[in-house]
Structure 1
Amino acid sequence: MMLSPASVLTLAVASTTLLPSLTTAFYLPGTAPRDYLAGENIDVFVNTLTPMLNSKLHSLISYDYYDSRFHFCAPEGGAEKQPESLGSILFGDRILSSPYEIKMMENSTCQLLCQSSVPKEDAKFINDRIKEDYGLNFIIDGLPSSEMMRDSKTQEIFLDAQGFNLGDDETTPDQPALNNHYDIFIQYHARDERHFRVVGVLVYPRTVSSMVAGSTEPDCFNGKSLHLSEATNNEFFYTYSVSFLESDIPWGLRWDAYLHVFDPKIHWFSLINSLVIVGFLVFMVAMILYRTISKDISRYNAVDLSDEVQEDYGWKLVHGEVFRLPPRPMLLSVMVGNGTHLVMMCIVTLVFALFGFLSPSNRGSLATVLLICWTFFGCVSGYGSARTYATLGGESWKPNLVLTAILFPLVVFSVIGLLNLFLIAASASGAVPFGTILAILLLWFLISAPLSVAGYFYGMKHGAFTNPVRVSSIPRQIPPKPWYLKTWQAAILGGILPFGAAFVELYFVLSSLFGNRAYYAFGFLFLTFTVVALTTATVTVLFVYFILCAEEYRWHWRAFLIGGGSAFWVFVYGVWYWASRLSLDSFTSVVLYFGYLFLFALLDFLVGGSIGYIATYFAIRRLYASIRVD
């Protein structure tokens, strides 16, 4: 529920005592606090126009604020680009200067920004963007523009930093109104009588036909809406007002009002439910395997002491086949290596986020840390691939080394490059600039790839893991299996439980990725990742044990596919999310959504597959090391 501008004044005092109690999150500020003197200029920066996730999301294309079709007011001499991190650029931020003049502690009313002229051709473009719920984004002293909201379930007051509407199409859907006046409320904290700090930024837009015939001064309170005509050219004013509201919130806690977790009970319910599932699953699997396997091992090792010769059955029959070279061992080792690379990247990034090192004041810090971790953990992929390939008995180490360093990065970069071409064709600001692409390629070729090579040689130095049993010279015949143990059926069934442990949190992650919502529930995300990893490992070991009991010894690829089976359900869930929460109006937006969804599912497949394969290998190694083979 959004609070009106009039309610802001009445709630301003109350919010100073309520907002600090909204959360106890800890973070390290990314910038030093700035003290303003009375009358000192406060810079206002503008960011891209992005679609807002209200009832449904209508587009995935963002636009530069100074796109010539919008005809916004620009500073004299042109807008200046502001320095941004690599992650901020990748996530679509394009921060520029603006002509707004705001001075600390100086309120102003109906200030004329400029007179804008919109031709009829561009009026249709703007009206279409209003119908698609596009929002503007201001940045003042590092804080995003927001609107004060009240959570309908918890009744907590928070600041929604999704942006503010370009226009209004709810009153008259056939003829949307353009918001051309902005009421800007700046919350400040007084350190003393002379020094002030910005601790909150609220912007409430409204539409007003402020141009009066025969007058050069705008009338911001005439109550008439501004509708852009698509038949004639349009002339109107852009105006703004500024009000300063005192707040008791200290500068170090100013982000607490933005870090609002929607419906935390759902997060807790999902997490507790997942913990119960994984606890029950681990306990049942441990009991079944312990009782069954320990009994089998005892009987198997005591055969020569029995009066009667006991015939082997189940998993014991395939002890001479279980470590046989699987088909396409090179590809399997490359996938395991890249999967472990991604696992390490996720763990370290989540740990940094969990302890508050990724401050929201550093825009794009999450993406930057992800990119840095991916770059410097290239050695993990090389090491994991080398030892896996050696253990599988592979001998062509040179092609394996090259594929480990370039195969999956090349696939990911190719898909992203193709999607970037669609963004360029749509004149979207989210298109990655050539300089950024070159910087990422240099990180890949100059740092990540050499580290992958170094990790590979280090893995070769350690060599293969020692298998506890020898491989027989003649392969056994494989009997028919139940339908649920066949490769693809087992992979799809095995992916249900890991996906079930994460699907609630997945909704918030997708809303953050595609709905321009900030995600800060890293504690829930870290615990969810841990639960999913344990569930994936346990389910994969259990399925592979059943497969071995069915005398099917070709477990290597099955273990990887079962571990990565949750990716299938992630993609299916993404399709459901597209059908239920999105209403994408353009072909480009649909291509972007399914392209990013494919990448998301692919990375999940590699992460889950590597966890499943590694857990299964060491479980099988421990299992067959417990029996006596003559």
Structure 2
Amino acid sequence: MENYPFEMFAGSLVSSKVSHPLPYSIGDLFCLPNDLTVTHGLTDQIIGQQITSTPYKFNMHKSIKCKLICKRKYTQEQKELLYYLIDNHYKIRYYTDSLPAYVDVSTTEGVSQNIYGVDIGFREPPNIPHNLTANAHYISTHLNITVHLFKDFALGINYIMGISLIPISQPNPPPCTFDYPDSIENTTEFFWTYSINFDYVDEKPNDRWKLTVANSFTHSIKWAFIINVIIGVFLASLLFYIFFLQYIRQQSATASTVTGWKALRNDVFRPPSHPLIWSAFIAHGIHLVLVILSVIIPCVLHITSPANPSLLVNIGIWSYLVLSIAEGYLMQYIYASTGANTKKFTILKGSLYAHLSTFALFVLLDCTLTGKPMSTAFITVNKFFLIFIGCLISIFNGAIGSILCMVFHRFKGIADCSAFPREIKPQPFFSEEIKDLLVGFAIFLPLIPVFDLVVKLMWVPYAIWRLWIAILGSITASLLTASCLSMLTTYIRLTKEDYNWWWPSLKAPLMSSLFMFMRSLSPIMTKMDSTFIVPTISMIARSFLASLIFGISVSAVSGIASLFFVVYAFVNRQAPA
């Protein structure tokens, strides 16, 4: 372990002003090792980055005062690219031992704050006496690297607990005298160097993530998380105690006879149009929610992190495959609850619809992220073949879940629907659509406090370090809010003797994904650079996919919440005497 070499890896260059990441090797600006490795896997394309090896290497306990890694002479074209990167505040994200390196930007008032990513350089502001040229560009050519260790004396092992960086702009080769640097405009030759230091910390190996994310959970995010949770709990409690119980009492009073109660119940549970698609939509949405939680919760508990994207994607893939059994079980259960025929294996069609649509989304997303047209994107046949095999495995697991549901449950449907339904009162044209839009906007409102932060994940993946808990709280609040409002709209429909509630219970939450997508377009368009059209289209595609997954997930939870509410109101109660 003492002589084990460690290597720093660099992620994509990320900007806080423009919406597209750039590769570390762009323009041959930075030093590259002789044994260069660049990842091009599906994981990196999904999260919008690539990992590149760098010449920054070290051995445990072997400090380096100043080591030269390369010497660069930049052409005027390369300088123009450096000006662009510096003016747009591009950063380089470094990783070591599955941990992102951070820069401590603590203030003089004692407020500690870590940021992830090293500024490529800076532009000297005017009227500041730094002995530097005003409005000139300076590049950070030296990295002062501090490796934070924990010593396990029982095992004699050193654990890397964190990596902190200090970028310095200095003009000299080793031994690095750190004089005032020359600007890029006045220099053509640059020396890239680095130094290595070690220190010990008290955090245990189980808390290695806490050192990295320390003081990065900002005050505003804490309040956004608290506000979201309060809104969700308040709406859930208010709607349950007021509207639901009031509706039960009202129906009990109006149904004066057992015959009238049964007729009302049969009308309420008349099967929806296309019950198979409705069941598949609900089950697949619940499936996506569980997969998302299976990825987020390990990050909240600091079991893993975005610094290990391959592990996160593997968790998501295996969760998707395993939970396909539960999806098939739930799909069969809901399909039978609608009163549809369950003797034949028609439920397999629903599983086929759901997983093939997911396969198509992955194919389109990959083609969009790679920036290749559909005709040339299929060069990577192996990747699509693996996705297709995963789709087939999911369909097979869904069939197993459906069979298990049919074995352990014998369904007769919730109610025997009467031959002639009650007459449904005609609704004004577009009235329901306008209501659904308003309800969808109401569902979107609880997301606003943290949405501006969450949407940065479209082009600032390292920001997710300080957002996991806020994202989990936002998802919880949005699911609670959507479920309550969906049950409320179902309640309003039933009081108006409109028994077509199955599909409308999904419409309003699904509208919230439209608002989410429109909101995500605002920062993308404002930070769009016309010289990078393809990366911008990729960002829009990822925003659309995230909004679509959000809409499907929230709609599915809302739909099953409305189903349970109606079942509780009309089935799990005794008929009035």
Give the CA deviation at 1:599: 0.9
1:513: how far off?
Answer: 4.1
Where do 5+ consecutive residues of structure 1 fail to align?
1-34, 212-216, 305-311, 426-430
What amino acid is aligned across from residue 361 of structure 2 in structure 1? V
Which amino acid in the other structure matches residue 287 of structure 1? I
Q: Deviations over 1:576-624 (max 9, x none)?
A: 44467x4555322331222111111111111111111112122222323
Q: How many pairs align?
A: 557
Correspondence for 2:33: 75
Contact 1:345–1:370, Cα closer than 8 Å, also in 2: yes
For residues 373 and 197 of structure 1, do their structure 2 counterparts lie closer, same or farther at Cα, with a shift above 3 Å needed? Answer: closer
**Counterpart selection for 2:361 from 408, 412, 417:** 412
SS for the counterpart of 2:508 is: helix
Which residue in 1 is equivalent to 2:389?
442
- Give 1:283's aligned residue: 238
Residue 573 of structure 1 and its aligned partner are, at CA, apart by 2.7
**Root-mean-square deviation over aligned CA pairs:** 3.9
Q: 1:349/1:199 Cα in 2 relative to 1: closer, same or farther (>3 Å)?
A: closer
Q: 2:280 aligns with which of 334, 342, 367?
A: 334
The 5 A counterparts of 1:360-509 are 362-394=308-340, 397=346, 400-401=349-350, 403-422=352-371, 436-445=383-392, 447-461=393-407, 466-481=412-427, 486-509=431-454
Q: Please tell me whether residue 515 in structure 1 is matched to residue 471 in structure 2.
A: no
Change beyond 3 A, Cα 1:628–1:557: same
Deviation digits for residues 379-399 of structure 1, max 9, x if unmatched? 233233333334445558167
Q: Conserved in 1, the CA contact under 8 Å of 2:446 and 2:478?
A: yes
| Residue equivalent to 1:12 | none
Q: Deviations over 1:504-551 (max 9, x none)?
A: 333333233422313355444444433333322221111111012122
1:140 to 78, 85, 96: 96
What CA distance in whole angstroms lies between the structure 2 residues aligned with 1:432 and 1:156? 51
Instruction: Quote how far apart the aligned CAs of 1:339 are.
Output: 0.7
Q: Tell me which moved more, 435-444 or 535-544.
A: 435-444
Letter in 1 for 2:33: P
Counterparts of 1:540 and 1:71, CA distance in 2? 54
Q: Take 1:393 and 1:515, find their aligned partners in 2: how far apart are those partners?
A: 48
2:210 paired residue number: 256
**Which of 6, 11, 15 is the aligned partner of 1:52?**
15
Aligned: 1:204 with 2:161: no
Q: Cα distance, 1:451 vs. partner?
A: 0.9
- Structure 1 distance, partners of 2:410, 2:223, is 43
Quick one: distance in 1 between partners of 2:307 and 2:400?
A: 36
Change in CA separation of 1:263 and 1:534 when aligned onto 2, cut-off 3 Å? same
Structure 1 pair 622/99, CA: closer, same or farther in 2 (3 Å)? closer
Does the 8 A contact of 2:487 with 2:558 survive in 1? yes
1:112 maps to amino acid:
L
Corresponding residue of 1:609: 555
1:221 aligns with 2:178: yes
> Following the alignment from structure 2 to structure 1, what is the Cα–Cα distance between the partners of residues 258 and 397?
51
Aligned equivalents of 1:289 and 1:351: distance in 2? 32
Distance 1:179 1:423, change over 3 A: farther
C-alpha distance in structure 1 between counterparts of 2:548 and 2:410, whole Å: 28
Relative to structure 1, the CA distance from residue 140 to residue 522 in structure 2 (aligned partners, 3 Å threshold; closer, same or farther) is closer
Instruction: Check conservation: 2:42, 2:383, Cα contact below 8 A.
Output: yes
* Deviation of the 1:347 alpha carbon: 3.7
- Structure 2 residue corresponding to 1:129, chosen from 78, 85, 90: 85
Could you tell me which runs of 5 or more consecutive residues in structure 2 were left unpaired when the two chains were aligned: 126-132
Which residue number in structure 2 is paired with residue 15 of structure 1? none
How far apart are the structure 1 equivalents of 2:324 and 2:370?
A: 27
Q: Does 1:112 align with 2:68?
A: yes
Aligned twin of 1:246: 199
Specify whether residues 462 and 561 from structure 1 end up closer, same or farther in structure 2 by C-alpha distance, changes over 3 A only. farther
The CA distance in 1 between the partners of 2:534 and 2:467, in whole Å, is: 30
- The aligned residue for residue 128 of structure 2 is none
Q: Which of 459, 483, 499 lines up with 1:537 in the alignment?
A: 483
Amino acid at match of 2:542: Y
Distance in 2 separating the partners of 1:489 and 1:130 = 47
Return the alpha-carbon distance in structure 2 between the equivalents of residues 588 and 235 of structure 1. Answer: 32
Displacement of 1:478 in angstroms is 2.5
Higher helix share: 2
Is the CA contact 2:247–2:491 (under 8 Å) kept in the aligned structure 1?
no
Amino acid at match of 1:59: S
For 1:135 and 1:434, the matched residues in 2 are separated by 34
Pairwise CA distance, 1:409? 0.8
Q: CA deviation at 1:335?
A: 1.2
- Specify the code of the residue in structure 2 equivalent to 1:79: L
Distance 1:434 1:147, change over 3 A: farther
Please give the alpha-carbon distance, in whole angstroms, between the structure 2 residues aligned to 1:424 and 1:245: 49
Q: Distance in 1 between matches of 2:272 and 2:76?
A: 66
Q: CA–CA distance in 1 between the matches of 2:372 and 2:349?
A: 35
The answer as to 2:136 corresponding to 1:179 is no
Amino acid in structure 2 at the alignment position of 1:558: P
The structural deviation recorded for 1:164 is: 0.6
1:18 aligns with none
Counterpart residue number, 1:100: 56
1:168 paired with 2:122, answer: yes
Cα displacement (A) at 1:555: 0.9
Distance 1:467 1:623, change over 3 A: farther
Distance in 2, Cα, partners of 1:329 & 1:269: 39
| Identity fraction in percent | 18
Letter paired with 1:300: A
489-498 vs 373-382, which moves further: 489-498
1:301 is the counterpart of 2:226:
no
Distance 1:438 1:163, change over 3 A: farther
Q: Which is further off, 194-203 or 496-505?
A: 194-203
Whole-Å separation in 2 of the counterparts to 1:327 and 1:292: 25
In structure 1, the residue matched to 2:519 is: 573
Q: Distance in 2 between matches of 1:424 and 1:185?
A: 44
SS of the counterpart of 2:557?
A: helix
Asked if structure 2 preserves the Cα contact closer than 8 Å seen for 1:340 and 1:607, the reply is yes
Find the residue that maps to 2:268 and give its secondary structure: coil
Please tell me whether the aligned partners of residues 225 and 470 of structure 2 are also in contact (alpha carbons under 8 angstroms). no
